[in-house]
Amino acid sequence: MLASLTALGWTFMLASILGVTALTFWCFKRVLFPPHDEPDLPGGLGP
Amino acid sequence: MTNQPTQQWGSRLGVILAVAGSAVGLGNFLRFPGNAAENGGGAFMIPYFLALLIVGIPIGWAEWAIGRYGGRKGFHSAPGILGIWCKGPIGRYAGVLGVLIPLGVYFYYVLIESWCLYYFWKYCTGGIGLEPTTDVASVQVPHTRGFFNEVVGAADNGALFQTMHPVLIAFVITVVCNVWFVYRGLSKGIETVCKYAMPVMAVLGIVILIRVLTLSAPAGTTGQSVVDGLGYLWNPNFEKLSNFKTWVAATGQIFFSLSVGFGVIINYASYMKKKDDVVLSGLTASATNEFFEVVLGGLITVTASVVFVGVLLTSQATGGSMSLGFKTLPMVFAQMPGGNFFGAAFFLILFLAAITSSLSMLQPSKAFFEEALGIDKVKSTTLVTVWGLIGNAFVLYYSKGLTALDTIDFWVGSVFIMVVAAVQIIAFGWIFGLERGIAEAHEGAQLRIPKFFQFVIKYVSPAYLIVIMIGFCLNNAPGYVDTLLGNVTTSPQLSVAAQRDLVAAFPAGSKLTYTWKQLGGSPVTLADASSAKPSFATKEPANAKNFEVPFELTVSDGTTTKTFTASAEVDVESPGSARRTWVFLLLTIAGLVAITAIGARRWKAEGRDLDGKLPAAD
């Protein structure tokens, strides 16, 4: 028998969808509007 | 060294969308929701997100850094780049798999892409001939299955050429598009396509999503609401978490969906500049893929399917990508108001998702041929086109039962991917050295890879990956090996109408007994004969031709007894097809190994740093 969406089902669905959407928007915001005052982190293997 | 001008991406967003476009494919919309529904619904998201954190994102970061560093050393192919990271010929020849995977998957993927284009065209010109009906199981199921079998030529080898099916026109158009955009190069070809295709897919996906979330089933059909459909997919079943198969399925979904270990990211990243940010780019490409998978894939297809065709047909379709997309959803569109429009929009999304992926499959081979053979882009494009067409023709011709396609998909598109990913993460964390690897990844990065992930990359990802790889092979490989050895295992099947009658005859949770009786043909011995799904083994005979074995099934709950007819289609021709496919794959591998050996000699003669002993240039 098919159960309608339960409270736990709502929780898992909304947490997954909102989490993924928020991460995607945050990433694109950082890509499209990079913070200007942030210098490159030190790193790299030299010349 | 070749005199080719070095290619570069036009913009940072371009490379992110190209990698995301490569990752977003049919599996996001069709495989993910079925996988989730079968493996615990909402609870599936626990191992799924865990796998994203400890396998998907870390190996992705490693692959981006590996590729960019290789590019700075003047290499753009997996054999060249992994030779540097693994410090010798073992990595170089393991890298052959990084060329084989995209090329081998292209052999069949472009066919699936042309099916999407053909379905899109059919929906633009009036649909696939389905009428709305209240008896979906008896009327629409045979029609959609028959239509699909004709499109793919499943009835016989060479069936598509015998009938000159119009899907061949869609195939030609698809191949021409792929070759043209790859020939145009990274910036003008692949990047341009992805820059337009990805937003179009997102917008169309959101339009369809809004439509699906406002659906209601027509009177007299399933009686299910959208909330029921969402419940089918998202209600958690925590018991499934104690089953190792759930963890394998979740990790496999993450793995194949993100395209890590596929040989594409390593090639794409090799065209980035030293100051380009691989950490944020890798995370953004992964997040974009997850958006398409969890948000659009997780809400659209299975939900609509449950509302219009019910749980039984939906659950039968969720074993793989094709059944849900090409057989079940057309029934949904037939029942839905404005179904042809939404059908066209849906198959356009699938086509765009597929072409952004297939473009990425040609580019690594093209780069490899230019680099190893020292040829220009016209010759490399010609070579990759011809090689691709030979593979396409092989899969197109050996279409019976889709055995050739399935064999390449399993070995090349699943098992080899895990091998390449394992080589990459071990090279990054252990051979090249974690500190050097992380320093390389941080070059030009706005984000620092957290210390936690550095531990994960070194210890957790390789261990987790190897455990899952063994689990995946133990779960899936025996059937494929058995087929190669000529042993065919078959289960009798009830028709969909009979299954519907069976479900209707007995209340949910009834304790049922099953009695199977063979009605004809050479006697077979059923294993697990008192279960709902028994099976029997057949050894491949000489001059094998498929045959059917009829059965009668009697089901009883102690008070009610019902009898149904069933049949088993024994596919004794599949072992021959699987072996032919392997011969073809081995020839392909031999060709790529030979080209790698030629390339290694050239690179050595040119004084290039084959084994990563010198520092990289800027």
How far apart CA B363 and CA B186 sit, in angstroms, is: 8
Mean pLDDT along residues B510-520: 90
Q: B134: pLDDT confidence band, cut at 50, 70 and 90?
A: confident
Domain tally, chain A? 1
Beta carbons of B440 and A45 less than 8 Å apart: yes
Please report whether residue A14 resides in a domain: yes
Shortest Cα–Cα distance, A36 to chain B (Å): 10
**Which chain B residue has the Cα nearest residue A38?**
B446
User: Could you read off the pLDDT of B81-126 as tens digits, one per residue?
Assistant: 999 999 889 999 999 999 999 999 999 999 999 999 999 999 999 9
> Is pLDDT of B165 > 90?
yes
Q: B61: pLDDT confidence band, cut at 50, 70 and 90?
A: very high
Question: How high is the pLDDT of residue B131?
Answer: 83
A39 close contact with B: CB closer than 8 A: no
> Is pLDDT of B569 > 70?
yes
Do residues B35 and B253 lie in contact, with contact meaning Cβ atoms separated by under 8 Å? yes
> How many C-beta atoms surround the C-beta of residue B27 within 10 A?
22
Model pTM score:
0.90
Please report whether residue A27 resides in a domain: yes
In terms of pLDDT, which residue wins out, B416 or B612? Answer: B416
Mean pLDDT along residues B212-235: 82
**Which chain B residue has the Cα nearest residue A1?**
B508
B 2-31 → A contacts, CB under 8 A: 12-13, 16
Shortest Cα–Cα distance, A14 to chain B (Å): 10
Shortest Cα–Cα distance, A21 to chain B (Å): 6
Question: How high is the pLDDT of residue B37?
Answer: 83
A21 close contact with B: CB closer than 8 A: yes
B351: tokens are 């086509």
How far apart CA B351 and CA B387 sit, in angstroms, is: 22
Question: How high is the pLDDT of residue B27?
Answer: 85
Q: B318: pLDDT confidence band, cut at 50, 70 and 90?
A: low
Beta carbons of B436 and A45 less than 8 Å apart: yes
Mean pLDDT along residues A2-27: 92
For residue B280, which residues of chain A lie inside 8 Å, CB to CB?
Answer: 27, 30-31
Domains located in chain B, CATH noted: 31-488+575-605 (1.20.1740), 489-571 (2.60.40)
Do residues A24 and B422 lie in contact, with contact meaning Cβ atoms separated by under 8 Å? no
Question: How high is the pLDDT of residue A47?
Answer: 40
Question: Which amino acid, B301?
Answer: T
Please report whether residue A17 resides in a domain: yes
Please report whether residue A45 resides in a domain: no
How far apart CA B165 and CA B180 sit, in angstroms, is: 24
φ and ψ at residue B487, rounded to 5 degrees: -105, 125
Beta carbons of B298 and A34 less than 8 Å apart: no
> Is pLDDT of B520 > 90?
no
Question: Which amino acid, B496?
Answer: V
> Is pLDDT of B263 > 50?
yes
Question: How high is the pLDDT of residue B501?
Answer: 84
Question: How high is the pLDDT of residue B615?
Answer: 65
User: Could you read off the pLDDT of B330-380 as tens digits, one per residue?
Assistant: 988 988 888 999 999 999 999 999 999 999 999 999 999 999 999 999 999
A31 close contact with B: CB closer than 8 A: yes
Measure CB to CB from residue A3 to each of B45, B235, B442 and give the nearest one: B235
B517: tokens are 């009786």
- Position of tokens 């191949």? B175
A with B: how many residue pairs have Cβ under 8 Å apart? 123
Measure CB to CB from residue A20 to each of B295, B438, B617 and give the nearest one: B295
Q: B201: pLDDT confidence band, cut at 50, 70 and 90?
A: very high
How far CA B579 is from CA of B89, B517, B529, B574, in Å, comes to 29, 33, 31, 9
B587: tokens are 């020839």
A7 close contact with B: CB closer than 8 A: no
Measure CB to CB from residue A44 to each of B45, B288, B443 and give the nearest one: B443
Q: What angle do CA A27, A33, A35 make, to 5 degrees?
A: 95
B 184-243 → A contacts, CB under 8 A: 224-225, 227-228, 230-232, 234-236
Beta carbons of B45 and A16 less than 8 Å apart: yes
Q: For B277, which DSSP code?
A: -
Shortest Cα–Cα distance, B237 to chain A (Å): 10
How far apart CA B339 and CA B350 sit, in angstroms, is: 16
Question: How high is the pLDDT of residue B320?
Answer: 61
Q: Which of B350, B339, B309 is nearest to B141 (CA)?
A: B309
> Is pLDDT of A1 > 50?
no
Q: Express as a percent the part of chain B with pLDDT over 90.
A: 61
B314 close contact with A: CB closer than 8 A: no
Cα B97 from chain centre? 17
φ and ψ at residue B437, rounded to 5 degrees: -65, -45
Please report whether residue A19 resides in a domain: yes
Question: Which amino acid, B461?
Answer: S
> Is pLDDT of B481 > 80?
yes
Residue A23's domain comprises: 8-32
Beta carbons of A43 and B291 less than 8 Å apart: no
Please report whether residue A43 resides in a domain: no
Please report whether residue A15 resides in a domain: yes
Q: B381: pLDDT confidence band, cut at 50, 70 and 90?
A: very high
In terms of pLDDT, which residue wins out, B563 or B5? Answer: B563
For residue B537, the SS3 value is strand
Q: B584: pLDDT confidence band, cut at 50, 70 and 90?
A: very high
Choose, out of B17, B443, B613, B618, the residue to mutate when testing the contact with A (most A CBs < 10 Å). B443
B377: tokens are 């882009």
What burial class does residue B489 get, using C-beta atoms within 10 Å of its C-beta: 0-12 exposed, 13-18 middle, 19+ buried?
A: middle
Q: Express as a percent the part of chain B with pLDDT over 70.
A: 96
Please report whether residue A38 resides in a domain: no
Question: How high is the pLDDT of residue B3?
Answer: 47
Spatial neighbors of B209 by CB under 8 A, at least 6 apart, are B295, B296, B299, B300
Question: How high is the pLDDT of residue B417?
Answer: 92
> Is pLDDT of B256 > 90?
no
Do residues B63 and B255 lie in contact, with contact meaning Cβ atoms separated by under 8 Å? no
**Which chain A residue has the Cα nearest residue B15?**
A31
Between A30-34, B291-295, B423-427, B497-501, the lowest mean confidence (pLDDT) is in B497-501
